[in-house]
Structure 1
């Protein structure tokens, strides 16, 4: 079946590769970009199968208008992929409220706005699949990425609840958690806090240096990652979570071990607090 797939942020990276792979598989892909000139590039990915639309996910009125226009043109939305977002590097103390709010606005509230706009369409149809692009950073914390972690943790918390809310309505939800992939995330699209504090050179500073040093040489292949996401989209029983890459899988296992250790060591203290 030809699916109507809506993907935010297809100018590069995972969004672009997923648009390509989905079109190759015979689906109709609507991809959003930030500038009008970029729509022609989306149209050219697979002429007649890919369609570019201008959208800033931070403009919530525009989100509703674009979703409405797409549904009017194509008749339905089978899959919506919230991929638009960016990274912010800097320690918690180094991050201004303006920088923190901007990070949350795009990575969380932007995805929330798209999700809320498509839910009535999917509810009426009794089917649909919402794919939230998170990160291993949405499951584990890293020095120097605290507000990026916060934005993705928020997205995951909302999406877990959403999964339970909409499952009886025939709507599926999947959270994608990539590790380091060879995209522009750590390159030109990365944002950095304006303030720098030397006291964090050995914690946040080291992580930031490491991420910058491997930009362009990350182990993850975005084409293979996009193909994995497409398998989930095509599945009749998709998972709530899809971890991508060896690094992400190892870090997820480490997080589970950490939580289990604290639970084992402090369970008796916690249990003693009930009436």
Structure 2
């Protein structure tokens, strides 16, 4: 990035959000680092400084989002880049995830970044410039076992961000949706991941084995979150930023396979699906 920007980061108290904030500060940017517990964010990032504003933000609260956006503008005068990073993971098979848990998952991972973006967009429209970067997941493009709630929320993020582009492009605002594969963040730690309790006999053995397998991956993921953070800052500095950034070799290969599968399904649908329109040459009533 060629010049200093004001970068607003959600979920900056730990995991990838911390890496993004640290890398942005090291690169000379002004950072609005937000989290549900601002004291933890301050402790993690090393206390107050001229180019850092730490402020409270529970992304599920529209009031918090409005207050954080106002605090950012009051302190730095503008917001150039919003990085929607905060989220969580309700793991489990569909029948063992309660309706309340499903709503919580979507409230955090989909409506949460919507709340923050809704608060920040008026600032960016007034500036006639800005960039909204939202962390999705490869699970936002590829359905996976044990991920129905998470994938549902991230598939929603994909549709929202892909469509938001057309809403805000006329005002000089860019959008990027990011699909990381497996990175060594804190997503799989207890507190970011909500593990299910086996409640249905048919699923019990699979649930127990799958939880053990997922937990065994924590701390062993191949992706380096600091490198991902630097890549996001590079995208934020592009004149024509990527609309979609697929992050990590595992994600790239997975998305390529999914694209090929979609093309194959489109072709397989052609015989039944190609000729479903009205035949206006047939006289009415015949």
TM-score scaled by structure 1?
0.95
Shift of residue 257, structure 1, vs aligned partner? 1.3
- The CA deviation string for residues 16-38 of structure 1, in whole angstroms up to 9 with x for no partner, is 00111111111001111211422
5+ unaligned residues in a row in structure 1: which ranges?
none
Tell me the secondary structure at the aligned position of residue 93 of structure 1.
helix
Q: Which stretch has the larger CA shift, 196-205 or 244-253?
A: 196-205
Shift of residue 193, structure 1, vs aligned partner? 2.7
**Correspondence for 1:273 among 252, 272, 276:** 276
Pick closer, same or farther for the CA change 1:259–1:200 going to 2, 3 Å: farther
- The CA deviation string for residues 211-258 of structure 1, in whole angstroms up to 9 with x for no partner, is 222111000011111111111011111111111111111110111111
Residue 192 (structure 1) aligned with residue 195 (structure 2):
yes
The alignment of Structure 1 onto Structure 2 pairs a total of residues equal to 275
**Correspondence for 1:233 among 236, 245, 256:** 236
Could you say which residue in structure 2 is the equivalent of 1:212?
A: 215
Structure 2 CA distance, aligned partners of 1:206 and 1:39? 34
Structure 1 CA distance, aligned partners of 2:168 and 2:70? 21
Shift of residue 45, structure 1, vs aligned partner? 6.6
Residue 78 (structure 1) aligned with residue 80 (structure 2):
yes
Structure 2 CA distance, aligned partners of 1:45 and 1:249? 37
Q: Is the 8 A contact 2:198 2:208 kept in 1?
A: no
Q: Which stretch has the larger CA shift, 58-67 or 121-130?
A: 58-67
Could you say which residue in structure 2 is the equivalent of 1:161?
A: 163
Structure 2 CA distance, aligned partners of 1:256 and 1:203? 29
**Correspondence for 1:127 among 126, 129, 136:** 129
Structure 2 CA distance, aligned partners of 1:45 and 1:182? 25
Could you say which residue in structure 1 is the equivalent of 2:140?
A: 138
Structure 2 CA distance, aligned partners of 1:261 and 1:203? 31
Structure 2 CA distance, aligned partners of 1:86 and 1:258? 28
Could you say which residue in structure 1 is the equivalent of 2:114?
A: 112
Could you say which residue in structure 2 is the equivalent of 1:57?
A: 59
Could you say which residue in structure 2 is the equivalent of 1:177?
A: 179
**Correspondence for 2:245 among 217, 242, 246:** 242
Tell me the secondary structure at the aligned position of residue 245 of structure 2.
strand
Tell me the secondary structure at the aligned position of residue 55 of structure 2.
strand
- The structure that has the greater radius of gyration is 2
Tell me the secondary structure at the aligned position of residue 46 of structure 2.
helix
- Equivalent residues in 2 for 1:10-29, closer than 5 Å: 10-29=12-31
